[in-house]
């Protein structure tokens, strides 16, 4: 018989879930909502600051799957991006389902916050242009008190042919005169942060909120301005122009470079909308107007415009340049194109986007596994480790989107990536130094 001795320090940690070396509560968790497309130095800074400001010992990341909020395919699959997140310091990575991931800000935020609340997350830390969390609460309280006037302005601007995001911004400008110490909702990260707090209020969550000021690189910056910090947009643009990874090395952790290189070696490419253009064009030209009208988020008159534009377009970019208008923004059109590509109708998407039905676990560290083991009886949704053992109808959208995502790869790589959706268990890594 073997006896296993445990130190007094370790015994103290086991009993009280408290690390006396670092001074953090090992069962206290902070949530991060992200896409990591790809994970860069700004994400690493945010992750470290999230633990610092929250005092949490566990980082829970809700991450979009293979298609993203702005209606784009991720550079590399969710499995490789999960490993990026884990090796950089995340402890649990769960997937934001397709029904919430490829959506406008408020639905995207609602799905992510709902999952973190179901995981018994103590706090959420988001990046913002503001850098202070109180103005977000001030803005939420103010708009709730003036909701009727605010919503009337939104409807009026939409009727004038303004895009929905622009209508929100204009309506906010029209009603905010009496607001003191509010937040600037014209900034992309501030918009998402506001929607996270609004979602928590909607579900009556007691999650605490923190924010970290975004600096050095703007959310939509398309060029490198700083020696170590760059936006994901500028990194993707750089990779599309020059796939050599050396020129982005200064802006991403080593684990990201390794994951990108490994993915290209295994699957022969980084994903881009142009890869999917032939399939999207075929769908647009062969679907009837009635069929297109049933696609989620398609409005009256839009199918005709998309079909007409697709007839002569030589690339996805030229198609988008011709299709976009003041009413139909680039981002919204991209999301509709994803729904066309994945054949996602309104009657399937609308019920699926009411609230998440499950927690899809993509990966965890040893600390993350301990957290889930101790909290599993408290979780408010089923925790899924492999989809093959869970025949729930809500998973259909995620399965379809993963198959479409892999379709641009050559065989046998395509079959290999599709099989991961059904057979891949959560990625496990040990404790980091």
For domain 8-129+187-218+255-271+354-429, which CATH number applies: 3.40.50.300, 3.30.70.1350, 3.40.50.620, 3.30.9.10?
A: 3.40.50.620
CATH 3.40.50.620 domain position(s) in the chain: 8-129+187-218+255-271+354-429
Distance CA 258, CA 294 (A): 42
Residue 222 confidence (pLDDT): 47
Residue 236, annotated as binding a ligand:
no
CA-to-CA dists, residue 74 to 38, 101, 338, angstroms = 8, 12, 12
Q: pLDDT of the chain along its 433 residues, tens only?
A: 333 333 434 433 443 455 544 555 678 999 999 999 999 999 999 999 999 999 999 999 999 999 999 999 999 999 999 999 999 999 999 999 999 999 999 999 999 999 999 999 999 999 999 899 999 999 999 999 999 999 999 999 988 888 888 899 999 999 999 899 999 998 999 999 999 999 999 999 999 999 999 875 444 454 455 568 899 999 999 998 888 898 999 999 999 999 999 999 999 999 999 999 999 999 999 999 899 999 999 987 888 899 999 999 999 999 999 999 888 899 999 999 999 999 999 999 999 999 999 999 999 999 999 999 999 899 999 999 887 766 567 788 999 999 999 999 998 999 999 999 888 999 999 854 4
Residue 33, annotated as binding a ligand:
yes
Residue 39, annotated as binding a ligand:
yes
Residue 40, annotated as binding a ligand:
yes
In this structure, what token pair is assigned to residue 302? Answer: 């839009």
Residue 42, annotated as binding a ligand:
yes
Q: Give the strand pairing for 359-365 and 427-429.
A: parallel
Which of these, 214, 209, 208, lies nearest to 187 by C-alpha position?
Answer: 214
User: Is 400 in a helix, a strand, or coil?
Assistant: helix
Residue 312, annotated as binding a ligand:
no
Residue 13 CB coordination number (10 Å): 16
Residue 387 confidence (pLDDT): 79
Residue 34, annotated as binding a ligand:
yes
Residue with structure tokens 């940690």? 13
DSSP string, 75-116: SS-HHHHHHHHHHHT-SEEEEEPHHHHSS-HHHHHHHHHHHH
Residue 226, annotated as binding a ligand:
no
Distance CA 268, CA 273 (A): 16
Residue 201, annotated as binding a ligand:
no
DSSP string, 239-304: HHH---GGGGGGGS-HHHHHHHHHHHHHHS----HHHHHHHHHHHHHHS-HHHHHTBTTPPTTHHH
Residue 37, annotated as binding a ligand:
yes
Residue 345, annotated as binding a ligand:
no
100 CB-side CA count, 13 A: 29
Convert 286-305 to b/e letters by CB count within 10 Å (16 or more is b).
ebeeeebbbbbbbeeebbee
Residue 46, annotated as binding a ligand:
yes
| Residues 44 and 229 sit within 8 Å (Cβ to Cβ) | no
321 torsion bin: left (phi>0), alpha (psi -120 to 50), beta (else): alpha
User: Is 319 in a helix, a strand, or coil?
Assistant: helix
Residue 127, annotated as binding a ligand:
yes
Distance CA 33, CA 361 (A): 14
DSSP string, 144-199: HHTHHHHHHHHHHHHHTT--HHHHHHHHHHHHGGG-SS---TTSHHHHHHHHHHHH
pTM of the model: 0.91
303 CB-side CA count, 13 A: 20
For residue 93, which phi and psi values (nearest 5 degrees)? Answer: -125, 120
- Torsion, Cα 20 21 22 26, to 10 degrees, reads -50
């Amino acid at each position: 018989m073997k006896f296993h001795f445990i130190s007094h320090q370790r015994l103290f940690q086991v009993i009280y879930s408290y690390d006396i070396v670092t001074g953090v509560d090992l069962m206290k968790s902070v949530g991060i909502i992200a896409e990591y497309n790809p994970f860069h130095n700004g994400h690493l800074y945010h992750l470290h600051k999230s633990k610092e400001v929250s005092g949490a010992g566990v980082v829970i990341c809700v991450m979009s799957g293979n298609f993203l909020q702005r209606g784009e395919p991720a550079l590399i699959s969710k499995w490789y991006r999960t490993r990026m997140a884990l090796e950089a310091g995340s402890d649990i990575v769960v997937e934001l389902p397709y029904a919430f991931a490829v959506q406008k800000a408020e639905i995207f935020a609602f799905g992510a916050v709902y999952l973190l609340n179901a995981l018994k997350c103590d706090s959420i830390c988001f990046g913002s242009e503001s850098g202070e969390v109180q103005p977000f609460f001030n803005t939420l309280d103010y708009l709730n008190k003036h909701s009727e006037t605010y919503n009337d302005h939104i409807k009026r601007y939409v009727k004038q042919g303004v895009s929905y995001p622009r209508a929100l911004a204009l309506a906010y400008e029209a009603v905010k005169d009496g607001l003191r110490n509010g937040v600037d909702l014209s900034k992309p990260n501030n918009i998402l942060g506001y929607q996270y707090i609004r979602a928590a209020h909607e579900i009556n969550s007691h999650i605490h909120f923190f924010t970290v000021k975004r600096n050095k690189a703007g959310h939509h910056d398309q060029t490198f301005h700083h020696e170590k910090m760059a936006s994901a947009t500028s990194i993707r643009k750089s990779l599309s122009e020059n796939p050599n990874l050396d020129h982005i090395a200064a802006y991403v952790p080593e684990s990201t470079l390794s994951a990108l290189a490994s993915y290209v070696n295994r699957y022969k490419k980084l994903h881009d909308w142009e890869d999917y253009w032939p399939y999207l064009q075929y769908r647009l030209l062969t679907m009837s107007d009635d069929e297109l009208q049933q696609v989620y988020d398609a409005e009256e008159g839009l199918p005709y415009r998309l079909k007409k534009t697709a007839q002569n377009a030589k690339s996805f970019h030229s198609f988008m340049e011709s299709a976009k208008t003041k009413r139909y923004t680039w981002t919204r059109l991209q999301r509709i194109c994803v729904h066309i590509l994945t054949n996602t109708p309104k009657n399937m998407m609308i019920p699926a986007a009411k609230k998440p039905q499950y927690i899809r676990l993509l990966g965890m560290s040893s600390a993350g596994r301990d957290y889930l083991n101790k909290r599993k009886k408290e979780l408010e949704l089923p925790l899924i480790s492999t989809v093959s053992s869970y025949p729930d109808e809500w998973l259909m959208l995620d399965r379809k989107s993963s198959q479409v995502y892999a379709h641009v790869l050559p065989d046998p790589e395509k079959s290999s990536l599709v099989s991961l959706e059904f057979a891949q268990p959560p990625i496990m890594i040990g404790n980091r130094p």
